[in-house]
């Protein structure tokens, strides 16, 4: 049995179903040569002239362009660029009516030709055999070539097919009536078409190439046969003139007996189909470097004085083409782009020529009468007999009218090639093709919406699943032990270990508490043996006697307000002088102690002296307000001092303030010299445990009472002044006295303050008064640690005894005054 290729080489042909035989009307145009037209006034170039995505603009308005210059570049799949058909200036880039039955505006580039026809730089490749397949495909792609037989499919997609191609079919059938563009192109440029076939053969390597031409084109058949005479793998076949034998699927079936499956493409059966005009454009782009900027267009119709084929620049308006052919329009004139079977009536003659434009038909009303009104179908089945796709046009029309899209798809609506054969033979003049086109558009929109809905549903389900997964993870995270809990348990174990180490360290012999306990034990032992020195209370008794004298003097002054204040003034001066003398003595003693680094015995004496000084100061403050109750002294100061003169009251306030200030300073110095840096001051109570509990309580009560009395006395003597501010206001308080006495009192008070401050600085040079206790260690670095501890214990005991003695003396004074 012969193979298929052998049968094809022998010239065997096959039949396709359906088809019609309308009058061709080609003789008026196919016998004339192709001629060129003058440049139009403007060119309107839609940036999308093919099936697929539009390109990206490379130019802007006002820019000067050259002939062949790329105006757009591909930016998506199935996207090819457009080029400038001539040199000139870009007047505008704006939407213009498109070459479509609806004339929907599409973005277009408007060029004003300059008449120079200046080409851009071209890159020819005459030796294309040396180029790779990818390079050849890029050349075809960027030359802007798309199918020129009417569909507008991007050519580079076909030439880059990854499926094996056994047979290459060149479509020269041109079955549409009136159209002869391919016929005259084959007559005039058969050599270029054959070289274009060689380029495709170099890319795809088919075993056989078949050129199919209808038998009503004898000149084209002869020209192509001569051009292919030297090539065994290229054969020319003349086929029966029948519409629509020029359809891609019908031509494949006629030449190879193969049928393209429904929804498939010719490459699925190893076949590739290219139009003769497309092959010519491929040859021009590869061998000469010219992009697709012009094409052959048939101008036919009885309203034209001269019919024929012209080289039309892309973007030329139909009006310009018709004008140069002697267009004489009739009333209700129709202008059709394409042939009478598959073309469409233009809404305007300002529509431009695009890459898929092969014919402009301007028939007269007698030549092509307008279709009549649609009538009811008579069910003659003529449409089904004429259908080349073996469909049921009548059923499809019914389903289209009722919008039963599911049944339309079941009856293979999309296998319809819209050839118009069914409408041509319909006696009821039903525009069947129009029904099919509308139904296809609506189904496509519905499919797009379904795809969007499906994607939205998938996104929703994915989101829902993600949220459920996250919720489940959160629940599981609460169920199983968390890392933070494990970390907290580990940290607790570490803390327990650290506490154990601290406790172990506390049990070591060098611990501070152990040292303090030893010091207290030694203090108790010394007290039991009677080693602690007894404090000298003579000065305390003397101060108490002095306070009694002052109390008596105040009483006498109250009883005799008319007496001259000279005696009390002298007493006050004497008290101030005595206080100044005591301050100087203490300062000198403190200076000697700081220079000679006192021993433990001297530290004890200093602590005892400080305690005595504090007791004296407290008694002096109490004596100033001996006749008042502690809680009533501040409220009754004014009534108690009305009898005495203003001078005496102010001097008494000054003396009391000076005494308090000195007592406080002395107390701070004594406390600072008797404290250990490790906190012995805070542990005085524990150091003096050797004394009885009763003595400690009495001493604390006495100290509190003494401080309260001193504060009340200060308030009584200076009700509008703070205790620490009495000394600063000496001058204002003693205005009633003479100028000499006022000056002496102010000088004495200032000297007392200065000496007290200097003494505090000497004992604690680097510390504030309140922090002196913390810096004892730095002041007493000379003695050994054992001596320091002994001195601290002795000082604490001395202070306790002094407080106790002061409390007893205060008690006696209260009894005497009462």
pLDDT tens digit string along 186-230? 999 999 999 999 999 999 999 999 999 999 999 999 999 999 999
Tell me the CA distances in angstroms from 370 to 188, 328, 334, 337, 419, one per residue in order.
Answer: 36, 18, 9, 16, 19
Over residues 370-387, mean pLDDT:
92
By C-alpha distance, which of 199, 197, 253, 256 is closest to 9? 256
- Residue 394 burial (C-beta neighbours within 10 Å; 0-12, 13-18, 19+): buried
pLDDT reading at 391 higher than 70: yes
- Residue 485 burial (C-beta neighbours within 10 Å; 0-12, 13-18, 19+): exposed
By C-alpha distance, which of 375, 469, 361, 474 is closest to 429? 375
Task: Give me the chain's average pLDDT, please.
Answer: 78
pTM exceeding 0.85? no
By C-alpha distance, which of 751, 741, 790 is closest to 600? 790
Given pLDDT bands bounded at 50, 70 and 90, which one contains residue 581?
low
Q: Which residues pair with 222 in a beta bridge?
A: none
Over residues 95-116, mean pLDDT:
91
Is there a cis peptide before residue 244, judged by omega within 30 degrees of 0? Answer: yes
pLDDT reading at 595 higher than 90: no
Distance CA 170, CA 185 (A): 13
- 3-class secondary structure, 173: coil
Q: Is 106 left (phi over 0), alpha (psi -120 to 50) or beta?
A: beta
Over residues 47-51, mean pLDDT:
89
Q: Is 383 annotated as a binding residue?
A: yes
Over residues 736-758, mean pLDDT:
55
pLDDT tens digit string along 426-476? 999 999 999 999 999 999 999 899 999 999 999 999 999 999 999 988 888
Distance CA 655, CA 638 (A): 18
pLDDT tens digit string along 255-286? 999 999 988 899 999 999 999 999 999 999 99
Cβ-Cβ contacts under 8 Å for 11 (sequence gap 6 or more): 237
Cβ-based neighbour number of residue 259 at 10 Å: 14
Q: Is 419 annotated as a binding residue?
A: yes
- Could you give the count of Cα atoms lying within 13 Å of 228 in the half-sphere of its Cβ? 25
Note the pLDDT of residue 235: 95
Given pLDDT bands bounded at 50, 70 and 90, which one contains residue 545?
confident
Note the pLDDT of residue 297: 96
Q: What percent of the chain has pLDDT over 70?
A: 65
By C-alpha distance, which of 548, 571, 568 is closest to 559? 568
Note the pLDDT of residue 720: 38
Given pLDDT bands bounded at 50, 70 and 90, which one contains residue 550?
confident
pLDDT tens digit string along 596-635? 444 444 555 655 555 665 666 666 555 554 444 434 333 3
Given pLDDT bands bounded at 50, 70 and 90, which one contains residue 150?
confident
Distance CA 384, CA 459 (A): 45
Given pLDDT bands bounded at 50, 70 and 90, which one contains residue 103?
confident
b/e code 170-202 from CB counts within 10 Å (16+ = b)? bbbbbbbbbbbbbbbbbbbbbebbbbbbbbbbe
Distance CA 241, CA 200 (A): 27
Note the pLDDT of residue 327: 94
Q: Is 416 annotated as a binding residue?
A: yes
Helix runs in 565-691, H state only: 566-596, 600-624, 637-640, 646-673, 684-687
Distance CA 65, CA 83 (A): 10
Contact 26, 78 (CB under 8 A): no
pLDDT tens digit string along 703-732? 556 566 656 655 554 433 343 433 333 333
pLDDT reading at 786 higher than 90: no
Over residues 724-746, mean pLDDT:
42
pLDDT reading at 174 higher than 70: yes
Over residues 243-262, mean pLDDT:
93
Note the pLDDT of residue 801: 77
Between 778 and 21, the higher pLDDT residue:
21
Question: C-alpha dihedral over 574, 575, 580, 583, to 10 degrees?
Answer: 140
Given pLDDT bands bounded at 50, 70 and 90, which one contains residue 162?
confident
The residue count of the chain comes to 818
Q: Is 422 annotated as a binding residue?
A: yes
Over residues 781-806, mean pLDDT:
64
pLDDT reading at 301 higher than 60: yes
Contact 416, 384 (CB under 8 A): no
Note the pLDDT of residue 634: 33
* Three-class HEC string of 482-521: CHHHHHHHHHHHHHHHHHHHHHHHHCCCCCHHHHHHHHHH
Note the pLDDT of residue 151: 76
Note the pLDDT of residue 61: 94
Strands (E), 243-350: 271-275, 294-300, 308-313, 336-337, 344-345
Distance CA 631, CA 628 (A): 8
The pairing of beta strand 344-345 with beta strand 336-337: antiparallel
Which two structure tokens, joined as six digits, stand for 563? 């007496």
pLDDT tens digit string along 56-83? 999 999 999 999 999 999 987 889 999 9
Between 1 and 323, the higher pLDDT residue:
323
Helix (H) or strand (E) holding 699, with range, is: helix 693-717
Tell me the CA distances in angstroms from 65 to 45, 81, 85, 338, one per residue in order.
Answer: 13, 15, 10, 31
- Mean pLDDT lowest among 178-182, 385-389, 483-487, 547-551: 483-487
pLDDT reading at 737 higher than 80: no
Distance CA 176, CA 424 (A): 13
């Amino acid at each position: 049995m012969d193979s298929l290729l052998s049968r094809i080489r022998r010239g065997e042909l096959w039949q396709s179903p359906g088809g019609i035989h309308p009058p061709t009307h080609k003789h008026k145009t196919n016998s004339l040569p192709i001629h060129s037209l003058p440049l139009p006034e403007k060119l309107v170039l839609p940036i999308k002239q093919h099936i697929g995505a539009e390109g990206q603009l490379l130019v802007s308005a006002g820019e000067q362009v050259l002939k062949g210059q790329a105006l757009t570049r591909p930016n998506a799949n199935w996207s090819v660029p457009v080029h400038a058909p001539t040199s000139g200036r870009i007047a505008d880039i704006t939407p213009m009516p498109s070459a479509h039955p609806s004339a929907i505006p599409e973005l277009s580039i408007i060029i004003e030709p300059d008449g120079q026809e200046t080409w851009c730089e071209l890159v020819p490749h005459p030796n294309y055999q040396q180029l790779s397949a990818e390079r050849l495909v890029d050349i075809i792609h960027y030359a802007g070539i798309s199918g020129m037989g009417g569909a507008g499919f991007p050519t580079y997609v076909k030439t880059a097919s990854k499926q094996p191609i056994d047979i290459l079919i060149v479509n020269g059938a041109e079955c549409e009536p009136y159209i002869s563009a391919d016929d005259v192109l084959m007559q005039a440029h058969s050599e270029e078409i054959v070289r274009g076939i060689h380029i495709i053969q170099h890319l795809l390597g088919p075993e056989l190439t078949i050129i199919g031409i209808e038998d009503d084109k004898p000149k084209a058949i002869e020209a192509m046969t001569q051009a292919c005479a030297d090539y065994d793998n290229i054969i020319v076949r003349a086929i029966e003139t029948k519409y629509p034998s020029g359809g891609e699927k019908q031509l494949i079936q006629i030449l190879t007996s193969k049928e393209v499956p429904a929804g498939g493409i010719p490459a699925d059966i190893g076949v590739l189909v290219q139009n003769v005009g497309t092959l010519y454009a491929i040859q021009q782009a590869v061998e000469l470097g010219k992009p697709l900027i012009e094409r052959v267009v048939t101008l036919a119709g009885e309203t034209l004085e001269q019919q024929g084929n012209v080289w039309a620049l892309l973007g030329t308006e139909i009006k310009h083409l018709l004008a140069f052919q002697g267009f004489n329009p009739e009333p209700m004139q129709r202008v059709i782009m394409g042939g009478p079977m598959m073309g469409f009536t233009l809404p305007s003659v300002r529509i431009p020529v695009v890459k898929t434009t092969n014919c402009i038909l301007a028939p007269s009303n007698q030549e092509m009468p307008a279709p009549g009104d649609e009538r009811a179908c008579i069910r003659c089945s003529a449409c089904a007999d004429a259908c080349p796709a073996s469909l049921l046009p009548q059923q499809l029309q019914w389903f289209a009218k009722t919008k039963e899209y599911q049944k339309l798809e079941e009856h293979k609506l999309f296998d319809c090639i819209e050839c118009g054969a069914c409408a041509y033979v319909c006696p009821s003049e039903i525009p069947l093709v129009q029904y099919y086109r509308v139904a296809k558009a609506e189904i496509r929109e519905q499919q797009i919406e379904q795809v969007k809905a499906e994607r939205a549903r998938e996104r929703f389900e994915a989101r829902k699943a993600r949220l459920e997964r996250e919720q489940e993870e959160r629940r599981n995270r609460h169920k199983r032990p968390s890392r933070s809990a494990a970390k907290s348990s580990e940290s607790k174990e570490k803390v327990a270990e650290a506490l154990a180490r601290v406790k172990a360290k506390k049990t070591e012999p060098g611990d501070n508490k152990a040292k303090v306990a030893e010091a207290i034990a030694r203090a108790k032992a010394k007290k039991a043996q009677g080693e602690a020195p007894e404090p000298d209370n003579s000065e305390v008794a003397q101060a108490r006697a002095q306070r009694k004298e002052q109390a008596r003097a105040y009483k006498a002054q109250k009883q005799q307000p008319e007496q001259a204040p000279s005696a009390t003034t002298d007493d006050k001066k004497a008290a101030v002088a005595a206080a100044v003398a005591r301050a100087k003595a203490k300062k000198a003693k403190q200076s000697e102690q700081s220079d000679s680094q006192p021993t433990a015995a001297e530290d004890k004496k200093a602590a005892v002296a400080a305690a005595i000084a504090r007791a004296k100061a407290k008694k002096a403050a109490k004596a100033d307000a001996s006749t008042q109750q502690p809680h009533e002294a501040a409220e009754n100061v004014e009534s108690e001092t009305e009898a005495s003169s203003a001078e005496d009251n102010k001097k008494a306030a000054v003396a009391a303030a000076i005494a308090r200030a000195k007592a406080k300073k002395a107390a701070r110095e004594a406390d600072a010299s008797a404290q250990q840096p490790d906190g012995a001051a805070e542990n005085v109570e524990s150091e003096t445990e050797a004394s009885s509990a009763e003595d400690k309580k009495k001493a604390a009560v006495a100290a509190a009472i003494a401080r309260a009395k001193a504060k009340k006395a200060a308030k009584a003597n200076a009700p509008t002044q703070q205790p620490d501010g009495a000394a600063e206001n000496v001058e204002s308080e003693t205005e009633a006295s003479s100028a000499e006495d006022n000056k002496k009192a102010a000088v004495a008070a200032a000297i007392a303050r200065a000496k007290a401050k200097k003494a505090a600085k000497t004992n604690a040079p680097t510390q504030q008064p309140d922090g002196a206790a913390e810096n004892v260690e730095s002041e007493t670095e000379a003695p050994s640690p054992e001596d320091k501890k002994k001195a601290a214990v002795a000082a604490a005991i001395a202070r306790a005894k002094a407080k106790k003695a002061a409390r007893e003396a205060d008690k006696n004074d209260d009894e005497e005054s009462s």
